[in-house]
Chains A and B, each alone.
Chain A
Amino acid sequence: MLEIKNLTKVYDDGTVALDNVSFTVQDGEFLVIIGLSGSGKSTLLRCINRLIEPTSGQIILDGVDITAASPAELRRIRRDIGMIFQHFNLVKRSTVMRNVLAGRLGYVNPWLSLLGIFPKEDKERAWKALELVGIAEKAYNRADALSGGQQQRVGIARALMQEPKLLLADEPVSALDPATSHSVLKYIELINRERGVTVMCSLHFLSLARTYATRIIALKDGKMMFDGLPEEIDDQRFKEIYGEEAVRVEVN
């Protein structure tokens, strides 16, 4: 269970990215965060694993206060939180295999890992992860030789290496075309359903959010505008979240 209490983030330039946000995520949920660009979705996700330091508030994962963790504890907590990124964040010149193994760096012996040595189990784990996302045959290709959708699947495989309890997905399909978006989200859904990994995923399109979410949170200017089931978002709510001039765009 993930509890977020009164989370606030104010950037150095005075921008209030998150304004007193509180909610709780139950294990096994597929939580989608929607909102316009700049509404605080990325900041929220990055505060959870403290890639961004929150200004105030608490984040508690299974009873452990992440916001109070020391650097060493934080690294241990981060192992339980997988993350996938809008721009995949792969090392383009490295092989797919090496990128996937990098997901295991929090677990392995740090000195051996610097020499590129990984235990056998981790290599097997990497093969299984790549098979799960259907790109095992690309294992020894350079990451930048893959298509966008394939690269994001490498990103998912890398996150799987952590055997996470929680998966943060920061606009995982914004850089992909609609058809590919579905294939990537299906893999995230698979991990959510079959492995019971809690997912927090930010998305631009409401239609995508409705398809995959078990619950939706909407942010606007760093404030929570909505917290509820996908079908509860009607035209009135939609205009509140996206503004009066917004027009619904369907992605199927």
Chain B
Amino acid sequence: MDNQPWKKSPSPWKYGRSALLAVVIIAAYIYSFRVTELDLPRLVTDFPKAVPILQDFLTPDVLARGEQTESYVINYPVPCGSGQEAEIPDSGPRIVPSVPCSDPKTTITVEGFDLRPDTKVQLRWLLPDGRRLRSARATTDGNGHFNVEVEIRPIVAAKEGNISQLEAELQWESTGLMPSEALKITFAKIVETVFMALMATTFACLVAFPVGFLGARNIMGTGPVGTVVYYIARTIFNLMRSIEALVMAVMFAIWLGFGPFAGVMAMTVVTVASLSKLFSEAIESIDPGPMEAIVAAGGNRLQAIVYAVFPQVIPPFIAFAIYHWDINVRISTIIGFVGGGGIGLQLQTWINQLAYNKAGTAVWAIVIVVTILDNLSSQIRKRLV
């Protein structure tokens, strides 16, 4: 009788089994290597393709030279006699048509005098119905003079006694640096994102707070009703947690349309799932002593919860809530990609437009805000716990 079985040498069958297992594992890796089309050297050989994008990301569109404009407008009746002709001054910056009025389908010459030198000029028709129609372009010379042919198209004809006006707009870059348009949009969108996350976290807390108690064993007790409620609550938490934020966002985007509202709702559902579980675990880990003391003094269950459980769980609840706010800011960038609004939606738009400088601005803004919020939340949590 061998009463020391661990000293027995393994049977050949056991070796065979190990070898088979090894073969299976190796085969699995070979297959997965093929199926995922891994080609690691390409990381290096194709790197030049990534360079422009990286450069754009690293040089985000933050500052721009401000653009300044100056415009001159004159009346121009088409056809002649349909309205008041322009009175052209003799000196000072002015634009002068070769004839004070004309018929459609003719061509006139427009000249500008004493304007800003070496500046781009855009001529435009301001139509009677308020629309604007682009016309010729020109550039002033060193003396501030330009000369350009303008075609009179039928659309500029007077309507119901109202005549079109001819506008010359000079555009040039100012010397001072201004926040770029992309930076302004990014700022507005990142603020929107932070508040989307705040709303989602707030809604989620309102739901998760009571629900957390339903999923806590020590609160629900060992009675039949309590046990059933407990298991239902726990099952719902787990089912909800298995659905990704991205999937939720797609669902809500279809339901509520693209935009921040859908994003907030998607994040709320995901956060409820996660917070409820954290809340109920926090409740389960409290010191039961104070509850026992209140029950022993003749207090009821609700009093025991309010007096003995609340003070113990409020600090961790707040810590979890702030942590989830932080998480939600991060998630909302992804959620935006599928229609959840906020900075994510903007980022996706810019990427689709191949405007990688602008996308870079958004990416940097996300990095900065998430870092700040991360520090802030860990500071607050340290003080609470």
Contact = CB atoms under 8 A, between A and B. Distances in A.
Nearest to B299: A105
Given A87-B289, A91-B311, A93-B312, A51 B295 contact: yes
B303 interface: yes
Interface residues of B, number: 20
B369 to A, nearest CB: 32
Nearest to B308: A91
B285 interface: no
B315 A93 contact: yes
B306 to A, nearest CB: 5
A90 B290 contact: yes
Nearest to B296: A83
B225 interface: no
A78 to B, nearest CB: 4
B295 to A, nearest CB: 7
Nearest to B315: A93
A106 interface: yes
A207 interface: no
Contact of A105 (B287, B303, B312): B303
Nearest to A83: B296
B294 interface: yes
B297 A113 contact: no
A88 interface: yes
Contact of B302 (A75, A77, A79, A110): A110
B235 interface: no
B299 A106 contact: yes
A87 B290 CA distance: 10
Interface in B282-322: 287, 289-290, 292-300, 302-303, 306-308, 311-312, 315
A103 interface: yes
Interface in A113-148: 113-114
- With most chain A CB atoms within 10 A of its CB, the pick from B289, B297, B300 is B297
Interface in A210-249: none
A106 B300 CA distance: 7
Contacts of A78: 295-298
A59 to B, nearest CB: 14
A49 interface: yes
Interface in B191-234: none
A140 to B, nearest CB: 15
Given A94-B311, A102-B307, A113-B303, A158 B298 contact: no
Contacts, number: 80
B297 A82 contact: yes
Contacts of B311: 91, 93-94
A187 interface: no
B313 to A, nearest CB: 10
From A51, A91, A98, residue with most partner B Cβ within 10 Å? A91
Contacts of A105: 294, 297-300, 303, 307
Nearest to B305: A114
Contacts of A113: 303, 306
A107 B289 contact: no
Contacts of B297: 78-79, 82-83, 102-106, 158-159, 161-162
Interface in A165-195: none
A158 to B, nearest CB: 7
Contacts of B296: 49, 51, 78, 81, 83
A205 interface: no
B312 A75 contact: no
Contacts of A104: 297
Contact of A91 (B290, B299, B315): B290
Interface string B135-147: 0000000000000
Nearest to B290: A91
Given A91-B307, A91-B308, A93-B315, A51 B292 contact: yes
A155 B293 CA distance: 9
Interface in B249-297: 287, 289-290, 292-297
Contacts of A92: 287, 312
Contacts of B295: 51, 78
A89 B298 contact: no
B312 to A, nearest CB: 7
Contacts of B292: 51, 85, 89
B269 to A, nearest CB: 30
Contacts of A88: 289
B298 A162 contact: yes
Nearest to A116: B306
Given A91-B312, A93-B315, A110 B289 contact: no
B219 to A, nearest CB: 15
For the complex of A and B, the 4 pairs showing the least CB-CB separation, nearest first, are A106-B298, A89-B289, A105-B299, A78-B298
Given A79-B298, A106-B299, A113-B306, 13 more contacts: A51-B296, A76-B298, A77-B298, A81-B296, A83-B297, A89-B289, A90-B289, A92-B312, A94-B311, A102-B294, A105-B294, A113-B303, A114-B303
14 contacts: A76-B298, A79-B298, A83-B293, A85-B292, A85-B293, A88-B289, A89-B289, A89-B290, A93-B312, A94-B311, A105-B294, A110-B300, A158-B293, A159-B297
